[in-house]
Every structure is written in structure tokens, then in C-alpha cells.
């Protein structure tokens, strides 16, 4: 009886610490087969600080922190996909974020505010068949500068580490949602954006049709 209770408790705790939802389009394999390159756009990032932490920052600094986090997460995702490409488990190419961001800027698009553009419009600018967009919520900053600055101000004390990623793989051919991946984790997230991405993406890698 005690063993059963312990197993149930561990299962319940695990479910609370990591929640995952995954949607895959019924014709996802066809979309993947017609995709040569995907581009990762900077996600909408919100760093949810506690009131005691917020008082040390201006609204402008909070916005800038979110933008820095978005760029670090974009780089972290690129590295994650690139590693799988080198291992032979990534079925498509991934555009370098430096190129992605430069092309958007050259076309007058704010890399942190592109909601007015359809995936098909972004695809023409970037020369890709799929774009990754979405949002991130974190309880503490993962970019080096923001993390160090906040640690100094708070004496290294943060709220319990947590992160929620809501990521969409959008076809630039017909603006269709091919994959939606929603992941929430609490606990040890590592010390930087790459650790965070590895934690969030580890278990889903074999379930995304762009990987094998």
C-alpha cells in the first residue's frame, strides 16, 4: 500500500513539474517533405519577476530584458537544431538567426514585433518554407547580462525556476499550423538559455516531424 502511494505521489509530482502538449497536423509528413529550410524568429518573451525584483527595474529595462532573452533563446534553439542536424536526426536545414534577423531588419520589420505579417509573407522575405514563432515565459532571466545584474540586485535569490514555451511551426506556403508544442517545466533549468532550451526540447525531439 505504501509503495502504491509513493508511486502515485512521484507520478503526480512529475506531472506538476513538467507538462507537455503537442499538436501535429495530420499531413505533417507532407509539409516536412516540402520543407528545405526553417527559420527561427525571436519569440515573445516575458520575464515574470517578483514584486521585490521588479522595483529595481524601469518598465523600459524590463522590455529590454525580454528582448535580450528572446535573442538568447533564438540562438539556443538554433544550436539545439544544428546539433541534431550534425547527428543526422534533423530532416531539414535551419537558417542562421543572424541571417534571419538581418533580412527582417532590411525589409523594415521589427524582429520583436512581426505579428502584422503572415507566415507566407515572412517566408518570402526569409526564403524558407517554415517559420518557428511563439512565446516564452520565465521566472528568471537566462541571458548572461540580465541574470548577472538581477543576481547582484537580489543577492542571488530568485523565485522557483519555471519556464513555459509555446512554439508554433508555421508553413509559409499556406499559413497552416504544422506543429504546436507547449511545454511547462519547474525546477532546475540550468544557468543559461542553452540549458533552458535543452530542458524544454529534450523529450519532444523524437515527436516533432522535423526530426527523426
Number of neighbours of residue 3 by Cβ within 10 angstroms: 7
**Is 52 within the bounds of a domain?**
yes
| pLDDT of amino acid 150 | 41
Question: Which has the minimum average pLDDT: 9-18, 63-72, 113-122?
Answer: 9-18
Burial (CB < 10 A; 0-12, 13-18, 19+), residue 188, is exposed
Percent of the chain topping pLDDT 70: 76
**Is 11 within the bounds of a domain?**
no
**Is 1 within the bounds of a domain?**
no
The reported pTM is 0.81
Q: Which CATH number covers residue 130?
A: 3.40.50.10610
**Is 58 within the bounds of a domain?**
yes
**Is 5 within the bounds of a domain?**
no
Please tell me the total count of domains within the chain: 1
Burial (CB < 10 A; 0-12, 13-18, 19+), residue 127, is middle
**Is 195 within the bounds of a domain?**
yes
**Is 101 within the bounds of a domain?**
yes
Domain coverage including residue 29:
20-204
- pLDDT beyond 90 at 179: yes
pLDDT band at 13 (very low <50, low <70, confident <90, very high): very low
**Is 136 within the bounds of a domain?**
yes
Which tens digit of pLDDT belongs to each residue from 130-165? Answer: 999 999 888 776 654 444 344 433 344 444 477 899
| pLDDT of amino acid 201 | 85
| pLDDT of amino acid 176 | 98
Amino acid at each position: 500500500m505504501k509503495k502504491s502511494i509513493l508511486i502515485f505521489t512521484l507520478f503526480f509530482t512529475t506531472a506538476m513539474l513538467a507538462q507537455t502538449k503537442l499538436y501535429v497536423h495530420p499531413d505533417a509528413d507532407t509539409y516536412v517533405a516540402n520543407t528545405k529550410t526553417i527559420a527561427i524568429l525571436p519569440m515573445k518573451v516575458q520575464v515574470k519577476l517578483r514584486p521585490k525584483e521588479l522595483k529595481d527595474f524601469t518598465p523600459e529595462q524590463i522590455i529590454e530584458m525580454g528582448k535580450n532573452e528572446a535573442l538568447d533563446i533564438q540562438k539556443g534553439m538554433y544550436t539545439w537544431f544544428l546539433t541534431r542536424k550534425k547527428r543526422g536526426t534533423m530532416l531539414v536545414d535551419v537558417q542562421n538567426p543572424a541571417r534571419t534577423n538581418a533580412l527582417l531588419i532590411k525589409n523594415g520589420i521589427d524582429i520583436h514585433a512581426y505579428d502584422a505579417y503572415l507566415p507566407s509573407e515572412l517566408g518570402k522575405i526569409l526564403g524558407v518554407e517554415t517559420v518557428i514563432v511563439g512565446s516564452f515565459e520565465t521566472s528568471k532571466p537566462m541571458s548572461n547580462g540580465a541574470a548577472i545584474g538581477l543576481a547582484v540586485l537580489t543577492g542571488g535569490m530568485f523565485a522557483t525556476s519555471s519556464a513555459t514555451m509555446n512554439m508554433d511551426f508555421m508553413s509559409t506556403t499556406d499559413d497552416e499550423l504544422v506543429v504546436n508544442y507547449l511545454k511547462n517545466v519547474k525546477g532546475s533549468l540550468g544557468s543559461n538559455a542553452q540549458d533552458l532550451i535543452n530542458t524544454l526540447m529534450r523529450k519532444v525531439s523524437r515527436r516533432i516531424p522535423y526530426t527523426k
